[in-house]
Amino acid sequence: MTCISSMFSYQVARDAVLRFRPNISITPYHANVKESRFNVDFYKEFDVVLNGLDNLDARRHVNRLCLAADVPLVESGTTGFLGQVTVHLKGKTECYECQAKPAPKTYPVCTITSTPSKFVHCIVWAKDLLFAKLFGDKNLENDLNVRSSDATNLSEHSEDVFECRKGEDIEQYGRRIYDHVFGHNIEVALSNEETWKNRNKPCAIYSKDVFPDKLTKENGKTEKGSTTEDVSAMASLGLKNPQDVWSLAENSRVFYESLRLFFSKRQKEIGNLTFDKDDQLAVEFVTAAANIRASSFGIPLHSLFEAKGIAGNIVHAVATTNAIIAGLIVIEAIKVLKKDSNNYRMTYCLEHPSKKLLLMPVEPYEPNKSCYVCSETPLSLEVNTHHSKLRDFVEKIVKAKLGMNFPVIMSGASIIYEVGEDLEEDMVAIYAANLEKALSELPSPVISGTVLTVEDLQQEFSCRINIKHREEFDEEKEPDGMLLSGRVEAPVDKNSNKPIGNGESTSSALSTEEIQEGERDVEIQETSESAENVTGKKRKLSEVSKGSIPDHSGLPDESSRNQNQLEKLDVDDEDDELIISNDWESLTKKKRL
Protein backbone atom coordinates (compact mmCIF):
# COMPACT_ATOMS: atom_id res chain seq x y z
CA MET A 1 0.00 0.00 0.00
CA THR A 2 1.33 3.41 -0.95
CA CYS A 3 -0.12 6.85 -0.57
CA ILE A 4 1.00 10.46 -0.70
CA SER A 5 -0.18 12.97 1.89
CA SER A 6 -0.04 16.62 0.88
CA MET A 7 0.30 18.34 4.25
CA PHE A 8 2.55 20.98 5.74
CA SER A 9 4.15 19.22 8.76
CA TYR A 10 5.52 16.20 6.91
CA GLN A 11 8.32 15.36 9.32
CA VAL A 12 6.14 15.91 12.40
CA ALA A 13 3.45 13.59 11.02
CA ARG A 14 6.02 10.92 10.17
CA ASP A 15 7.56 11.02 13.66
CA ALA A 16 4.13 10.75 15.29
CA VAL A 17 3.16 7.69 13.23
CA LEU A 18 6.47 5.92 13.78
CA ARG A 19 5.97 6.12 17.54
CA PHE A 20 3.15 3.58 17.35
CA ARG A 21 4.07 1.84 14.06
CA PRO A 22 7.89 1.83 14.05
CA ASN A 23 8.22 -0.85 11.37
CA ILE A 24 6.53 0.99 8.49
CA SER A 25 8.32 3.09 5.89
CA ILE A 26 7.38 6.76 5.47
CA THR A 27 9.33 9.18 3.27
CA PRO A 28 8.64 12.84 4.12
CA TYR A 29 9.24 15.69 1.65
CA HIS A 30 9.66 19.20 3.00
CA ALA A 31 9.09 21.02 -0.28
CA ASN A 32 6.62 22.92 -2.43
CA VAL A 33 4.01 20.55 -3.81
CA LYS A 34 4.16 22.48 -7.11
CA GLU A 35 7.84 21.72 -7.72
CA SER A 36 8.52 20.05 -11.07
CA ARG A 37 9.87 16.85 -9.49
CA PHE A 38 6.37 16.12 -8.17
CA ASN A 39 5.04 15.45 -11.65
CA VAL A 40 2.50 12.99 -13.07
CA ASP A 41 4.97 10.11 -12.97
CA PHE A 42 5.55 10.80 -9.29
CA TYR A 43 1.81 10.65 -8.58
CA LYS A 44 1.45 7.39 -10.52
CA GLU A 45 3.58 5.68 -7.88
CA PHE A 46 0.74 5.97 -5.36
CA ASP A 47 -2.59 4.24 -4.77
CA VAL A 48 -4.30 7.26 -3.22
CA VAL A 49 -3.55 10.91 -2.46
CA LEU A 50 -4.68 12.47 0.83
CA ASN A 51 -4.89 16.25 0.60
CA GLY A 52 -4.77 18.78 3.43
CA LEU A 53 -3.31 21.86 1.74
CA ASP A 54 -3.93 25.44 2.82
CA ASN A 55 -4.69 27.28 -0.41
CA LEU A 56 -6.85 26.98 -3.49
CA ASP A 57 -4.01 27.18 -6.00
CA ALA A 58 -2.14 24.18 -4.57
CA ARG A 59 -5.36 22.16 -4.27
CA ARG A 60 -6.21 22.76 -7.91
CA HIS A 61 -2.69 21.72 -8.88
CA VAL A 62 -2.90 18.41 -7.01
CA ASN A 63 -6.40 17.78 -8.38
CA ARG A 64 -5.13 18.07 -11.97
CA LEU A 65 -2.14 15.83 -11.35
CA CYS A 66 -4.39 13.20 -9.79
CA LEU A 67 -6.67 13.36 -12.82
CA ALA A 68 -3.70 13.04 -15.18
CA ALA A 69 -2.26 10.13 -13.17
CA ASP A 70 -5.71 8.55 -12.65
CA VAL A 71 -5.10 8.33 -8.91
CA PRO A 72 -7.96 8.73 -6.37
CA LEU A 73 -7.88 11.94 -4.34
CA VAL A 74 -9.24 12.31 -0.80
CA GLU A 75 -9.65 16.05 -0.19
CA SER A 76 -10.10 17.65 3.23
CA GLY A 77 -10.29 20.98 4.97
CA THR A 78 -11.24 22.61 8.26
CA THR A 79 -12.30 26.05 9.33
CA GLY A 80 -12.85 26.58 13.00
CA PHE A 81 -15.52 24.07 14.00
CA LEU A 82 -16.45 23.25 10.40
CA GLY A 83 -14.76 20.80 8.09
CA GLN A 84 -15.20 18.19 5.37
CA VAL A 85 -13.66 15.21 3.64
CA THR A 86 -14.50 14.48 -0.02
CA VAL A 87 -13.51 11.70 -2.42
CA HIS A 88 -12.66 12.34 -6.07
CA LEU A 89 -12.19 9.64 -8.72
CA LYS A 90 -11.60 10.43 -12.37
CA GLY A 91 -14.71 9.86 -14.48
CA LYS A 92 -16.78 8.57 -11.54
CA THR A 93 -17.17 11.48 -9.15
CA GLU A 94 -16.84 15.22 -9.53
CA CYS A 95 -13.28 16.52 -9.43
CA TYR A 96 -12.20 19.15 -6.92
CA GLU A 97 -12.87 21.92 -9.46
CA CYS A 98 -16.32 20.74 -10.59
CA GLN A 99 -18.05 22.99 -8.07
CA ALA A 100 -17.67 26.66 -7.28
CA LYS A 101 -14.90 27.73 -4.94
CA PRO A 102 -14.64 31.10 -3.17
CA ALA A 103 -12.62 33.71 -5.02
CA PRO A 104 -10.61 36.36 -3.17
CA LYS A 105 -12.24 39.77 -3.31
CA THR A 106 -10.52 42.18 -5.67
CA TYR A 107 -10.63 45.95 -5.21
CA PRO A 108 -10.30 48.76 -7.75
CA VAL A 109 -6.88 50.41 -7.79
CA CYS A 110 -8.43 53.82 -7.17
CA THR A 111 -10.01 52.59 -3.91
CA ILE A 112 -6.80 50.99 -2.66
CA THR A 113 -4.51 53.89 -3.57
CA SER A 114 -6.80 56.85 -2.95
CA THR A 115 -9.92 56.29 -0.86
CA PRO A 116 -9.66 53.28 1.49
CA SER A 117 -12.64 52.94 3.80
CA LYS A 118 -12.06 49.48 5.31
CA PHE A 119 -9.09 47.87 7.00
CA VAL A 120 -8.91 45.23 4.28
CA HIS A 121 -8.20 48.05 1.80
CA CYS A 122 -5.18 49.02 3.92
CA ILE A 123 -4.01 45.41 4.09
CA VAL A 124 -4.19 45.03 0.30
CA TRP A 125 -2.29 48.31 -0.11
CA ALA A 126 0.44 47.22 2.34
CA LYS A 127 0.72 43.67 0.98
CA ASP A 128 0.27 44.02 -2.77
CA LEU A 129 1.70 47.51 -3.30
CA LEU A 130 4.13 48.64 -0.59
CA PHE A 131 5.64 45.26 0.34
CA ALA A 132 5.92 44.30 -3.33
CA LYS A 133 7.52 47.66 -4.20
CA LEU A 134 10.14 47.52 -1.45
CA PHE A 135 11.00 43.82 -1.44
CA GLY A 136 9.61 42.30 -4.64
CA ASP A 137 10.35 42.42 -8.35
CA LYS A 138 11.36 46.00 -9.21
CA ASN A 139 10.33 45.54 -12.84
CA LEU A 140 6.64 45.02 -12.09
CA GLU A 141 4.36 48.01 -12.53
CA ASN A 142 3.24 49.32 -9.17
CA ASP A 143 1.48 52.63 -8.56
CA LEU A 144 1.93 53.54 -4.91
CA ASN A 145 1.03 57.18 -5.37
CA VAL A 146 -2.35 58.44 -4.28
CA ARG A 147 -3.95 59.85 -7.41
CA SER A 148 -3.88 63.57 -7.84
CA SER A 149 -4.64 66.15 -10.46
CA ASP A 150 -1.17 67.58 -9.89
CA ALA A 151 0.73 65.06 -12.01
CA THR A 152 3.87 67.21 -12.18
CA ASN A 153 4.28 67.37 -8.42
CA LEU A 154 3.55 63.65 -8.14
CA SER A 155 6.15 62.65 -10.71
CA GLU A 156 8.85 64.92 -9.35
CA HIS A 157 8.50 63.70 -5.78
CA SER A 158 8.14 59.98 -6.55
CA GLU A 159 11.17 59.63 -8.83
CA ASP A 160 13.42 56.89 -7.43
CA VAL A 161 11.89 57.43 -3.99
CA PHE A 162 11.87 53.69 -3.22
CA GLU A 163 15.53 53.18 -4.12
CA CYS A 164 18.06 53.33 -1.31
CA ARG A 165 20.43 56.14 -2.28
CA LYS A 166 24.20 55.99 -2.23
CA GLY A 167 25.56 56.78 1.23
CA GLU A 168 22.09 56.66 2.81
CA ASP A 169 21.83 54.57 5.99
CA ILE A 170 18.81 52.46 6.78
CA GLU A 171 17.39 55.00 9.26
CA GLN A 172 17.40 57.78 6.67
CA TYR A 173 15.92 55.44 4.08
CA GLY A 174 13.19 54.27 6.46
CA ARG A 175 12.24 57.83 7.37
CA ARG A 176 12.12 58.84 3.71
CA ILE A 177 9.86 55.94 2.75
CA TYR A 178 7.62 56.62 5.76
CA ASP A 179 7.32 60.32 4.96
CA HIS A 180 6.57 59.65 1.30
CA VAL A 181 3.83 57.02 1.62
CA PHE A 182 2.17 58.24 4.82
CA GLY A 183 2.88 61.96 4.52
CA HIS A 184 3.48 63.31 1.03
CA ASN A 185 1.07 60.97 -0.77
CA ILE A 186 -1.72 61.89 1.63
CA GLU A 187 -1.10 65.61 1.08
CA VAL A 188 -1.22 65.03 -2.66
CA ALA A 189 -4.55 63.26 -2.24
CA LEU A 190 -5.91 66.13 -0.14
CA SER A 191 -5.09 68.59 -2.91
CA ASN A 192 -7.91 67.09 -4.95
CA GLU A 193 -10.77 68.69 -3.04
CA GLU A 194 -13.47 67.11 -5.21
CA THR A 195 -12.56 63.66 -3.84
CA TRP A 196 -13.34 64.64 -0.25
CA LYS A 197 -16.67 66.42 -0.67
CA ASN A 198 -18.58 63.40 0.64
CA ARG A 199 -15.75 61.62 2.46
CA ASN A 200 -13.81 62.14 5.66
CA LYS A 201 -10.45 63.67 4.87
CA PRO A 202 -7.32 61.69 5.81
CA CYS A 203 -4.43 63.27 7.71
CA ALA A 204 -0.79 63.17 6.67
CA ILE A 205 1.58 61.47 9.10
CA TYR A 206 5.32 62.18 9.13
CA SER A 207 8.10 60.34 10.91
CA LYS A 208 9.08 63.39 12.99
CA ASP A 209 5.63 63.28 14.59
CA VAL A 210 5.91 59.69 15.84
CA PHE A 211 9.60 58.72 15.89
CA PRO A 212 12.24 59.79 18.42
CA ASP A 213 15.16 61.82 17.11
CA LYS A 214 17.33 58.75 16.87
CA LEU A 215 15.55 55.54 15.99
CA THR A 216 18.34 53.19 16.98
CA LYS A 217 18.07 54.34 20.59
CA GLU A 218 14.46 53.26 20.68
CA ASN A 219 14.48 50.15 18.54
CA GLY A 220 15.99 46.89 19.68
CA LYS A 221 18.59 44.69 18.05
CA THR A 222 18.29 41.07 17.00
CA GLU A 223 20.75 38.61 18.41
CA LYS A 224 23.80 37.72 16.40
CA GLY A 225 23.55 34.63 14.27
CA SER A 226 19.76 34.61 14.07
CA THR A 227 18.35 32.75 11.09
CA THR A 228 15.72 33.98 8.65
CA GLU A 229 13.05 32.06 10.55
CA ASP A 230 14.02 33.77 13.83
CA VAL A 231 14.05 37.36 12.55
CA SER A 232 11.17 39.25 14.13
CA ALA A 233 10.52 42.94 14.69
CA MET A 234 8.20 42.09 17.58
CA ALA A 235 10.91 40.11 19.35
CA SER A 236 13.42 42.85 18.69
CA LEU A 237 11.11 45.47 20.20
CA GLY A 238 9.87 43.36 23.08
CA LEU A 239 6.27 43.15 21.82
CA LYS A 240 5.00 39.76 22.93
CA ASN A 241 1.25 39.47 22.41
CA PRO A 242 0.14 39.26 18.74
CA GLN A 243 -3.44 39.98 19.84
CA ASP A 244 -2.58 43.41 21.21
CA VAL A 245 -3.63 46.38 19.08
CA TRP A 246 -0.55 48.55 18.74
CA SER A 247 -0.66 52.32 18.99
CA LEU A 248 0.40 54.51 16.08
CA ALA A 249 3.82 54.93 17.69
CA GLU A 250 4.23 51.18 18.17
CA ASN A 251 3.14 50.46 14.60
CA SER A 252 5.66 53.03 13.39
CA ARG A 253 8.44 51.38 15.36
CA VAL A 254 7.49 47.94 13.99
CA PHE A 255 7.41 49.41 10.47
CA TYR A 256 10.92 50.76 10.75
CA GLU A 257 12.33 47.74 12.61
CA SER A 258 10.94 45.21 10.13
CA LEU A 259 12.32 47.32 7.25
CA ARG A 260 15.70 47.43 8.98
CA LEU A 261 15.71 43.67 9.56
CA PHE A 262 14.88 42.92 5.94
CA PHE A 263 17.83 45.00 4.75
CA SER A 264 20.27 43.83 7.43
CA LYS A 265 19.34 40.15 7.83
CA ARG A 266 17.64 39.22 4.55
CA GLN A 267 19.35 41.46 2.02
CA LYS A 268 19.87 38.62 -0.49
CA GLU A 269 16.13 37.97 -0.72
CA ILE A 270 15.17 41.56 -1.54
CA GLY A 271 13.99 41.83 -5.12
CA ASN A 272 12.51 38.33 -5.15
CA LEU A 273 10.18 38.36 -2.17
CA THR A 274 6.42 37.87 -2.32
CA PHE A 275 4.16 38.13 0.69
CA ASP A 276 3.80 34.88 2.62
CA LYS A 277 1.44 34.61 5.57
CA ASP A 278 3.92 32.21 7.23
CA ASP A 279 6.75 34.75 7.01
CA GLN A 280 6.66 36.42 10.43
CA LEU A 281 8.67 39.48 9.43
CA ALA A 282 6.54 40.04 6.31
CA VAL A 283 3.35 39.83 8.40
CA GLU A 284 4.76 42.31 10.91
CA PHE A 285 5.68 44.78 8.18
CA VAL A 286 2.29 44.52 6.47
CA THR A 287 0.40 44.81 9.77
CA ALA A 288 2.33 47.94 10.79
CA ALA A 289 2.03 49.59 7.36
CA ALA A 290 -1.70 48.81 7.13
CA ASN A 291 -2.33 50.20 10.62
CA ILE A 292 -0.42 53.43 9.95
CA ARG A 293 -2.44 53.94 6.77
CA ALA A 294 -5.65 53.06 8.62
CA SER A 295 -4.80 55.65 11.28
CA SER A 296 -4.36 58.26 8.56
CA PHE A 297 -7.80 57.51 7.07
CA GLY A 298 -9.62 57.19 10.41
CA ILE A 299 -10.09 53.41 10.12
CA PRO A 300 -9.95 51.32 13.36
CA LEU A 301 -6.59 49.61 13.94
CA HIS A 302 -6.22 45.83 14.14
CA SER A 303 -3.90 43.43 15.96
CA LEU A 304 -1.26 41.39 14.17
CA PHE A 305 -3.36 38.28 14.78
CA GLU A 306 -6.34 39.85 13.00
CA ALA A 307 -4.24 41.40 10.24
CA LYS A 308 -2.56 38.06 9.49
CA GLY A 309 -5.97 36.44 9.08
CA ILE A 310 -7.07 39.12 6.62
CA ALA A 311 -3.78 39.20 4.69
CA GLY A 312 -3.51 35.42 4.45
CA ASN A 313 -7.22 34.65 3.96
CA ILE A 314 -7.09 32.26 6.88
CA VAL A 315 -9.50 31.08 9.54
CA HIS A 316 -7.69 29.79 12.58
CA ALA A 317 -7.79 26.08 13.32
CA VAL A 318 -9.50 24.13 16.13
CA ALA A 319 -7.54 21.05 17.20
CA THR A 320 -10.60 18.85 17.82
CA THR A 321 -12.01 19.57 14.36
CA ASN A 322 -8.65 18.73 12.79
CA ALA A 323 -8.57 15.42 14.68
CA ILE A 324 -12.08 14.49 13.51
CA ILE A 325 -11.29 15.33 9.90
CA ALA A 326 -8.00 13.41 10.08
CA GLY A 327 -9.92 10.33 11.20
CA LEU A 328 -12.45 10.72 8.38
CA ILE A 329 -9.61 11.01 5.84
CA VAL A 330 -8.28 7.63 6.94
CA ILE A 331 -11.75 6.04 6.79
CA GLU A 332 -12.26 7.19 3.19
CA ALA A 333 -8.70 6.20 2.25
CA ILE A 334 -9.36 2.65 3.48
CA LYS A 335 -12.50 2.49 1.32
CA VAL A 336 -10.52 3.67 -1.70
CA LEU A 337 -7.80 1.09 -1.12
CA LYS A 338 -10.48 -1.62 -0.82
CA LYS A 339 -12.14 -0.23 -3.98
CA ASP A 340 -15.38 -0.04 -1.99
CA SER A 341 -16.87 2.66 -4.25
CA ASN A 342 -20.47 2.02 -3.15
CA ASN A 343 -19.63 3.32 0.31
CA TYR A 344 -17.59 6.42 -0.57
CA ARG A 345 -18.90 9.44 1.31
CA MET A 346 -18.36 13.18 1.40
CA THR A 347 -18.57 13.83 5.14
CA TYR A 348 -19.17 17.25 6.67
CA CYS A 349 -18.37 18.23 10.24
CA LEU A 350 -20.88 20.70 11.69
CA GLU A 351 -20.50 23.18 14.53
CA HIS A 352 -24.04 22.58 15.80
CA PRO A 353 -26.06 19.34 15.65
CA SER A 354 -28.51 18.83 12.78
CA LYS A 355 -31.00 16.01 13.43
CA LYS A 356 -28.82 15.26 16.48
CA LEU A 357 -25.83 14.70 14.18
CA LEU A 358 -22.51 16.53 14.02
CA LEU A 359 -21.14 14.43 11.15
CA MET A 360 -23.13 14.36 7.93
CA PRO A 361 -22.15 11.88 5.17
CA VAL A 362 -23.40 12.42 1.62
CA GLU A 363 -22.85 10.21 -1.44
CA PRO A 364 -20.42 11.77 -3.95
CA TYR A 365 -21.68 13.80 -6.89
CA GLU A 366 -21.20 12.76 -10.48
CA PRO A 367 -18.76 14.81 -12.62
CA ASN A 368 -20.02 18.22 -13.66
CA LYS A 369 -20.39 18.20 -17.46
CA SER A 370 -19.64 21.93 -17.50
CA CYS A 371 -16.29 21.56 -15.71
CA TYR A 372 -13.46 22.82 -17.91
CA VAL A 373 -10.94 20.68 -15.99
CA CYS A 374 -12.36 17.16 -16.06
CA SER A 375 -14.98 17.59 -18.81
CA GLU A 376 -12.83 19.80 -21.10
CA THR A 377 -15.62 22.32 -21.71
CA PRO A 378 -14.30 25.36 -23.67
CA LEU A 379 -14.07 28.72 -21.92
CA SER A 380 -14.86 32.19 -23.28
CA LEU A 381 -12.83 35.35 -22.76
CA GLU A 382 -14.03 38.87 -23.49
CA VAL A 383 -11.03 41.16 -23.92
CA ASN A 384 -9.94 44.27 -25.77
CA THR A 385 -7.57 42.55 -28.16
CA HIS A 386 -6.09 45.89 -29.29
CA HIS A 387 -5.16 47.16 -25.82
CA SER A 388 -4.59 44.09 -23.63
CA LYS A 389 -1.10 42.61 -23.79
CA LEU A 390 -0.20 38.95 -23.83
CA ARG A 391 1.36 39.53 -20.38
CA ASP A 392 -2.06 40.56 -19.04
CA PHE A 393 -3.58 37.37 -20.42
CA VAL A 394 -0.82 35.19 -18.93
CA GLU A 395 -0.80 36.79 -15.48
CA LYS A 396 -4.49 37.58 -14.95
CA ILE A 397 -6.12 34.65 -16.72
CA VAL A 398 -3.75 31.73 -17.31
CA LYS A 399 -1.99 31.89 -13.94
CA ALA A 400 -4.41 33.68 -11.62
CA LYS A 401 -7.72 32.30 -12.91
CA LEU A 402 -6.75 28.94 -14.41
CA GLY A 403 -3.99 28.05 -11.96
CA MET A 404 -1.35 27.03 -14.51
CA ASN A 405 2.34 27.08 -13.60
CA PHE A 406 4.22 26.35 -16.85
CA PRO A 407 1.82 27.41 -19.60
CA VAL A 408 2.13 26.82 -23.32
CA ILE A 409 -0.23 29.05 -25.34
CA MET A 410 -1.08 28.15 -28.92
CA SER A 411 -3.12 29.86 -31.59
CA GLY A 412 -3.86 27.13 -34.07
CA ALA A 413 -0.56 25.37 -34.72
CA SER A 414 1.55 28.41 -33.71
CA ILE A 415 3.06 28.67 -30.23
CA ILE A 416 2.85 32.28 -29.04
CA TYR A 417 4.14 31.72 -25.50
CA GLU A 418 5.98 28.99 -23.62
CA VAL A 419 8.08 28.60 -20.49
CA GLY A 420 10.52 25.85 -19.61
CA GLU A 421 14.10 25.17 -18.63
CA ASP A 422 14.95 23.46 -21.93
CA LEU A 423 14.04 26.43 -24.16
CA GLU A 424 16.77 27.89 -26.35
CA GLU A 425 17.81 31.47 -25.67
CA ASP A 426 16.45 32.85 -28.92
CA MET A 427 13.03 31.36 -28.23
CA VAL A 428 13.05 32.75 -24.68
CA ALA A 429 13.73 36.20 -26.15
CA ILE A 430 10.91 35.82 -28.71
CA TYR A 431 8.36 34.80 -26.08
CA ALA A 432 9.51 37.59 -23.75
CA ALA A 433 8.99 40.09 -26.57
CA ASN A 434 5.53 38.63 -27.26
CA LEU A 435 4.51 39.34 -23.66
CA GLU A 436 4.74 43.08 -24.30
CA LYS A 437 2.64 42.99 -27.48
CA ALA A 438 -1.10 43.57 -27.68
CA LEU A 439 -2.99 40.36 -28.49
CA SER A 440 -3.94 41.55 -31.97
CA GLU A 441 -0.30 42.44 -32.73
CA LEU A 442 1.18 39.00 -32.03
CA PRO A 443 2.84 37.07 -34.88
CA SER A 444 -0.32 34.96 -34.92
CA PRO A 445 -2.87 37.68 -34.16
CA VAL A 446 -5.39 36.96 -31.42
CA ILE A 447 -8.65 38.62 -32.43
CA SER A 448 -12.37 38.05 -32.02
CA GLY A 449 -13.11 34.46 -33.02
CA THR A 450 -9.61 33.13 -32.26
CA VAL A 451 -9.51 29.90 -30.28
CA LEU A 452 -6.49 29.63 -27.98
CA THR A 453 -5.28 26.32 -26.60
CA VAL A 454 -3.56 26.65 -23.23
CA GLU A 455 -1.61 23.73 -21.78
CA ASP A 456 0.34 23.10 -18.62
CA LEU A 457 2.85 20.34 -19.30
CA GLN A 458 3.58 19.78 -15.62
CA GLN A 459 -0.10 19.22 -14.83
CA GLU A 460 -0.73 17.44 -18.17
CA PHE A 461 -3.78 19.67 -18.43
CA SER A 462 -5.12 21.72 -21.33
CA CYS A 463 -8.18 23.84 -22.12
CA ARG A 464 -9.52 25.90 -25.02
CA ILE A 465 -10.48 29.56 -24.77
CA ASN A 466 -12.72 31.29 -27.30
CA ILE A 467 -11.71 34.95 -27.70
CA LYS A 468 -14.30 37.70 -28.11
CA HIS A 469 -13.19 41.31 -28.67
CA ARG A 470 -14.81 43.91 -26.42
CA GLU A 471 -14.01 47.61 -26.43
CA GLU A 472 -14.72 48.78 -22.87
CA PHE A 473 -14.81 47.39 -19.33
CA ASP A 474 -16.13 48.74 -16.03
CA GLU A 475 -13.09 49.49 -13.87
CA GLU A 476 -15.06 48.95 -10.67
CA LYS A 477 -16.76 45.67 -11.60
CA GLU A 478 -14.14 44.32 -14.02
CA PRO A 479 -10.76 45.56 -12.72
CA ASP A 480 -8.83 43.00 -14.79
CA GLY A 481 -10.12 44.49 -18.05
CA MET A 482 -11.13 40.98 -19.08
CA LEU A 483 -14.11 38.72 -18.45
CA LEU A 484 -13.68 34.95 -18.35
CA SER A 485 -16.84 32.86 -18.53
CA GLY A 486 -17.62 29.15 -18.59
CA ARG A 487 -15.47 28.55 -15.50
CA VAL A 488 -17.23 27.37 -12.36
CA GLU A 489 -16.57 30.08 -9.81
CA ALA A 490 -18.38 31.44 -6.80
CA PRO A 491 -18.81 35.20 -6.43
CA VAL A 492 -17.25 36.81 -3.39
CA ASP A 493 -19.23 38.35 -0.57
CA LYS A 494 -18.95 42.01 -1.50
CA ASN A 495 -20.36 43.14 1.83
CA SER A 496 -17.80 41.47 4.05
CA ASN A 497 -14.39 42.71 5.15
CA LYS A 498 -13.41 39.28 6.39
CA PRO A 499 -11.01 36.93 4.65
CA ILE A 500 -12.60 34.22 2.57
CA GLY A 501 -11.87 31.09 4.49
CA ASN A 502 -13.37 27.95 5.83
CA GLY A 503 -16.55 29.29 7.29
CA GLU A 504 -17.40 32.00 4.80
CA SER A 505 -20.52 31.70 2.68
CA THR A 506 -19.55 32.76 -0.80
CA SER A 507 -21.42 30.58 -3.25
CA SER A 508 -24.28 31.97 -5.27
CA ALA A 509 -25.83 28.62 -6.05
CA LEU A 510 -25.49 24.92 -5.44
CA SER A 511 -25.39 22.73 -8.51
CA THR A 512 -25.97 19.10 -7.46
CA GLU A 513 -27.01 15.68 -8.76
CA GLU A 514 -30.20 13.82 -7.91
CA ILE A 515 -30.76 13.38 -4.23
CA GLN A 516 -32.90 10.34 -4.80
CA GLU A 517 -34.39 8.55 -7.75
CA GLY A 518 -37.44 10.16 -9.27
CA GLU A 519 -38.27 13.82 -9.68
CA ARG A 520 -38.76 15.91 -6.61
CA ASP A 521 -38.46 19.57 -5.67
CA VAL A 522 -35.55 20.78 -3.61
CA GLU A 523 -34.94 24.33 -2.42
CA ILE A 524 -31.52 25.71 -3.23
CA GLN A 525 -30.50 28.81 -1.37
CA GLU A 526 -27.70 31.30 -1.29
CA THR A 527 -26.46 32.21 2.17
CA SER A 528 -24.26 35.06 3.24
CA GLU A 529 -22.88 35.73 6.69
CA SER A 530 -23.74 39.36 6.28
CA ALA A 531 -27.16 38.92 4.69
CA GLU A 532 -30.40 39.06 6.63
CA ASN A 533 -32.45 37.32 3.96
CA VAL A 534 -31.75 34.34 1.76
CA THR A 535 -32.52 33.95 -1.89
CA GLY A 536 -34.17 30.77 -3.02
CA LYS A 537 -36.40 29.14 -5.58
CA LYS A 538 -37.54 25.55 -5.89
CA ARG A 539 -36.26 23.62 -8.88
CA LYS A 540 -36.89 20.13 -10.17
CA LEU A 541 -34.08 17.70 -9.53
CA SER A 542 -33.85 16.95 -13.23
CA GLU A 543 -33.02 20.64 -13.77
CA VAL A 544 -30.62 20.80 -10.86
CA SER A 545 -28.71 17.74 -12.04
CA LYS A 546 -27.91 19.51 -15.29
CA GLY A 547 -25.92 22.10 -13.38
CA SER A 548 -28.33 24.95 -14.04
CA ILE A 549 -28.27 27.95 -11.74
CA PRO A 550 -31.51 28.73 -9.93
CA ASP A 551 -33.34 31.97 -10.63
CA HIS A 552 -32.86 34.04 -7.50
CA SER A 553 -35.81 36.27 -8.17
CA GLY A 554 -37.43 36.28 -4.76
CA LEU A 555 -36.24 37.21 -1.30
CA PRO A 556 -38.28 35.17 1.21
CA ASP A 557 -37.72 35.90 4.86
CA GLU A 558 -36.53 33.39 7.45
CA SER A 559 -40.04 32.11 8.25
CA SER A 560 -40.56 30.88 4.71
CA ARG A 561 -37.76 28.32 4.81
CA ASN A 562 -38.97 24.70 4.82
CA GLN A 563 -37.46 21.51 6.17
CA ASN A 564 -36.09 20.59 2.78
CA GLN A 565 -33.77 23.58 2.42
CA LEU A 566 -30.23 22.97 1.29
CA GLU A 567 -27.51 25.48 2.07
CA LYS A 568 -24.03 25.62 0.64
CA LEU A 569 -21.07 27.21 2.35
CA ASP A 570 -17.55 27.25 0.92
CA VAL A 571 -14.94 26.04 3.34
CA ASP A 572 -11.47 24.66 3.66
CA ASP A 573 -8.10 25.54 4.98
CA GLU A 574 -9.18 28.05 2.67
CA ASP A 575 -11.33 26.65 0.07
CA ASP A 576 -13.62 23.60 0.27
CA GLU A 577 -17.35 23.13 0.38
CA LEU A 578 -19.71 22.55 3.28
CA ILE A 579 -23.26 21.39 2.75
CA ILE A 580 -25.70 21.72 5.64
CA SER A 581 -29.12 20.14 5.35
CA ASN A 582 -32.15 19.93 7.57
CA ASP A 583 -33.39 16.97 5.54
CA TRP A 584 -30.97 14.19 6.43
CA GLU A 585 -32.82 11.36 4.74
CA SER A 586 -33.08 12.98 1.32
CA LEU A 587 -29.34 13.63 1.21
CA THR A 588 -28.30 10.13 2.19
CA LYS A 589 -30.59 8.58 -0.44
CA LYS A 590 -28.74 10.37 -3.20
CA LYS A 591 -28.21 8.54 -6.49
CA ARG A 592 -25.30 6.13 -6.27
CA LEU A 593 -22.47 6.40 -8.78
pLDDT at 344: 94
Name residue 523's beta-bridge partners.
538, 565
Average pLDDT over residues 162-167: 82
Class level of CATH domain 9-104+316-362? alpha beta
CATH superfamily of 109-146+164-211+230-312: Ubiquitin activating enzymes (Uba3). Chain: B, domain 2 (1.10.10.520)
- Asked if residue 228 has pLDDT above 60, the reply is no
pLDDT of residue 346: 93
| DSSP state string for 528-560 | -TT-SS-EEEEEEHHHHTTTPPP-------GGG
- pLDDT tens digits, one per residue of 340-361: 999 999 999 988 888 888 999 9
Do 9-104+316-362 and 109-146+164-211+230-312 have matching folds? no
Give the residue numbers of the binding site for Zn(2+): 95, 98, 371, 374
> Which pLDDT score, from 0 to 100, does residue 445 have?
94
Binding annotation:
54-59, 95, 98, 371, 374
Kindly list the catalytic residues: 110
364-414 confidence digits (pLDDT tens): 999 998 899 998 889 999 999 999 999 999 999 999 889 898 899 999 889
According to DSSP, residue 445 is labeled -
Interval 78-129: pLDDT, tens: 888 899 999 999 999 999 999 877 666 777 778 888 889 999 999 999 999 9
Predicted confidence (pLDDT) at residue 130 exceeds the cutoff of 60: yes
Contact present, 75 and 106 (Cβ < 8 Å): no
How high is the pLDDT of residue 525?
A: 30
Helix, strand, coil % over all residues of the chain, rounded to 5: 35, 15, 50
Three-state secondary structure of 300-330: CCCCHHHHHHHHHCCCCECHHHHHHHHHHHH
> What does the domain layout of the chain look like in residue ranges?
9-104+316-362, 109-146+164-211+230-312, 379-485
Backbone angles phi, psi at 187, to 5 degrees: -65, -40
The pLDDT of residue 477: 80
Is residue 560 predicted with pLDDT exceeding 70? no
Judging by beta carbons within 10 Å of its beta carbon (0-12, 13-18, 19+), is residue 289 exposed, middle or buried? Answer: buried
At residue 52, the pLDDT reads 87
Task: Give yes or no for a contact between 528 and 495, defined as CB atoms under 8 angstroms apart.
Answer: yes
pLDDT in tens, 248-302: 999 999 999 999 999 999 999 998 898 988 899 999 999 999 999 999 999 999 9
Of 103 and 44, more confident: 44
* 379-485 maps to CATH 3.10.290.20: yes
Alpha-carbon distance values, 322 to 17, 262, 306, 367, 537 (Å): 16, 34, 21, 28, 35
122-131, 214-223, 304-313, 429-438: range with lowest mean pLDDT: 214-223
**Could you tell me which residue, 581 or 471, shows the higher pLDDT?**
471
Q: Strands across the sheet with 379-383, in order?
A: 414-418, 407-411, 451-456, 461-469, 379-383, 482-485
Query: Across all residues in the chain, what is the average pLDDT?
Result: 77
Which residue ranges make up the annotated binding site for ATP? 54-59
Q: DSSP readout, 34-101? A: TSTTS-HHHHTT-SEEEE--SSHHHHHHHHHHHHHHT--EEEEEEEBTEEEEEEE-TTTS--TTSS--
Q: What pLDDT shows up at residue 213?
A: 63
